[in-house]
Structure 1
């Protein structure tokens, strides 16, 4: 067990969080403005102040920085509740890409980088983005195809390349850019507004309530100082794996909450809507969908909790986080799909948030490595090392 506070105290925290999400955050969701980033940003910003006033937010942040200092195990319960609302993760400072960027910089940043970049992230006064994905033939699911380059010059580096689907980049104050040096893939901190760093556009996607967008970026002769290099030159792929392990887990936690909410909506609908002389909840096919949803979410929670405990124990979670990411991403989508089916025409409308939940969860099978890529990696590790199933 990895607990930072007595069980009764933690249970009270989670109860307060759930009440805050239900009573204050969810009522602020306006489905009519779900694709207006400016409105979503203002709403989440106002809610963030209310959360901070109640001592809620930044679950992984240090108490000295206003965070809660929760273990990964405790974050399973916290993030599930936060994730029940589209606005919850942004309000409670546990949304991507900021949270995984924080986790990586806490391990890799120099003292100067911690002061200039990490501290504002922890305070919530700045935003970051992680720029690795590129258009074909550049890096996508295979980071070894990285084409963006960083050339060493007197006093620093010159970056050239093309990035896209960079989550959060529209409103980021700085980017962590992955570029290839003579030593191999490496990380660089680039301030927004640096000459040669240009955000071309926001790439429209199916997801609602997306504050930072998914931008396309071009770097042309973008010059940064020597101090912009993060960690060790040539270790960018290892750094990325470090960042992704926690990111995958956070996605699992919060999307379990969103899928659970979709099924709650469907269950309420099924107990009131009648069809063929009986309520939907009395039809065995509907009961089967509800039962399967509960079974899948139960399994998803246990798998995520196991990986969180391993991470708290300092174990490598590469293999286990891949398995959890594949299972949970597919399970939560099936749950949301069943919720849509139970709600019928209402489920595909935007009178209720179920269809938006479905669209958001569909993307998780691509985020942080497509399911097919993870399956291939899982099998190769198992066969290479003779791992028992």
Structure 2
């Protein structure tokens, strides 16, 4: 993430983002949560068109694609405002899996691939999907268990395998498929109209605000030519590692923004709601919950900012940057859950009613503790790195 904008007026940009989210996105969010309006590509295009008009589209995209070209540190500031809504990241083209795929294509794609895939993706003309996670006994948290294969032919490759939790697959223009080869795991760009790829339907998950859902995808004798290889043969995991730090950082920013909004909603609620002779806000137990959330927010922001600084200084593939993003994700995922759970509790009975919104925020956020690395796996990784340094 390298800024190409020169001096960025972060205050002005953040103010515009806040205004855009408040005026354009929050009303639609209520329709999605309360009225159960489906999150379709038509809705995505509606919001992204409005974002372009407001000048806040594409924090991750380079200016030549109509984006803002922000550094990681600048992104932290601007996306804090966008993350205040479940639909905010989608509206500005900074939601999974497209956020990570934009970054991945920017670094790994050759000029022809950038023109064919990165240009329309960064511009919001299409969506993408990344096909990596597999049903047991295939790859999940352990990518070394990759079961999908790609066999070399004289003119290209034949891919076979099954994937699931393939985010955004329904309606995606193309897939970045991870498959094992004789020379190691390799990434392939597969167009969605390839007759060898089949989207077998959406999985019914707790989170339902993802355009394209989480799907089962099957590759059956899927033929691609040599130009479909993204990066070099056998380098998929190296590129995946480089993708992880920015992707985890954006996840943290987006979900923390939502948690902060819920925290403020809870504070306003207990200031206005009276019980047992006074405002709930005067109750020491309620104040304790508010204080704990403030602490979680402050700690999360500090870890996020540090990870962003290291990504900018060292690059996303650097060991220290990846470690810092892992620490941030491990902490922020759990902190967001705690903040949202407290916000539900402080709303009382209204907290479990979707009209108050915080109930849906809590349910949607549950997957954050698993996606981009379950907390337990991240803690294991953090511990191993620490112990190696103490030998």
TM range (shorter): over 0.9
In structure 2, runs of 5+ residues without a counterpart are none
Superposed displacement of residue 5, structure 1: 5.2
Q: Which residue of 1 aligns with 2:74?
A: 74
Tell me which of 342, 349, 362 is aligned to 2:366: 362
Q: Which residue of 2 aligns with 1:37?
A: 39
Give the secondary-structure state (helix, strand or coil) at the position aligned to 1:374: helix
Query: 5 Å matches for 1:110-149?
Result: 110-149=110-149
Query: 5 Å matches for 1:17-166?
Result: 17-29=17-29, 30=31, 31-34=33-36, 36-38=38-40, 41-166=41-166
Q: Please say which of residues 102-111 and 272-281 is displaced more in the overlay.
A: 272-281
Check if 1:340 corresponds to 2:333.
Answer: no
Q: Provide the rounded CA distance (Å) in 1 between the counterparts of 2:179 and 2:305.
A: 34
Give the secondary-structure state (helix, strand or coil) at the position aligned to 1:170: coil
In structure 1, runs of 5+ residues without a counterpart are none
Check if 1:293 corresponds to 2:293.
Answer: yes
Q: Which residue of 2 aligns with 1:234?
A: 234
Q: Provide the rounded CA distance (Å) in 1 between the counterparts of 2:384 and 2:212.
A: 35
Query: 5 Å matches for 1:131-280?
Result: 131-280=131-280
1:156-195 Cα offsets, whole Å, 9 max, x none, are 0000000000111112110000000001111000000211
Q: Provide the rounded CA distance (Å) in 2 between the counterparts of 1:44 and 1:191.
A: 21
Q: Provide the rounded CA distance (Å) in 2 between the counterparts of 1:120 and 1:44.
A: 15
Change (3 A) 1:34 1:321: farther
Count residues with an aligned counterpart. 383
Q: Is the 8 A contact 1:129 1:175 kept in 2?
A: yes
Give the secondary-structure state (helix, strand or coil) at the position aligned to 2:383: helix
1:90-139 Cα offsets, whole Å, 9 max, x none, are 11111111111010111110111111111111111111111000000000
- Normalised TM-score (structure 1): 0.95
Give the secondary-structure state (helix, strand or coil) at the position aligned to 1:181: coil
Give the secondary-structure state (helix, strand or coil) at the position aligned to 1:157: strand
1:57-104 Cα offsets, whole Å, 9 max, x none, are 101211222111111101001111111111111111111111110101
Q: Which residue of 1 aligns with 2:307?
A: 307
Q: Provide the rounded CA distance (Å) in 2 between the counterparts of 1:366 and 1:343.
A: 26
Q: Is the 8 A contact 1:34 1:208 kept in 2?
A: no
Q: Provide the rounded CA distance (Å) in 1 between the counterparts of 2:386 and 2:175.
A: 35
Q: Is the 8 A contact 1:130 1:167 kept in 2?
A: yes
1:301-339 Cα offsets, whole Å, 9 max, x none, are 111011101101125212111111000100011000000
Superposed displacement of residue 246, structure 1: 0.7
Query: CA RMSD for the aligned pairs?
Result: 1.5
Superposed displacement of residue 56, structure 1: 1.1
Q: Provide the rounded CA distance (Å) in 1 between the counterparts of 2:331 and 2:343.
A: 18
Q: Provide the rounded CA distance (Å) in 2 between the counterparts of 1:192 and 1:44.
A: 19
Q: Which residue of 2 aligns with 1:13?
A: 13
Q: Provide the rounded CA distance (Å) in 1 between the counterparts of 2:76 and 2:200.
A: 36
1:327-373 Cα offsets, whole Å, 9 max, x none, are 01000110000000000111111111101111122111101110111
Check if 1:351 corresponds to 2:328.
Answer: no
Q: Provide the rounded CA distance (Å) in 2 between the counterparts of 1:35 and 1:354.
A: 17
Q: Is the 8 A contact 2:208 2:364 kept in 1?
A: yes
Q: Is the 8 A contact 2:196 2:220 kept in 1?
A: yes
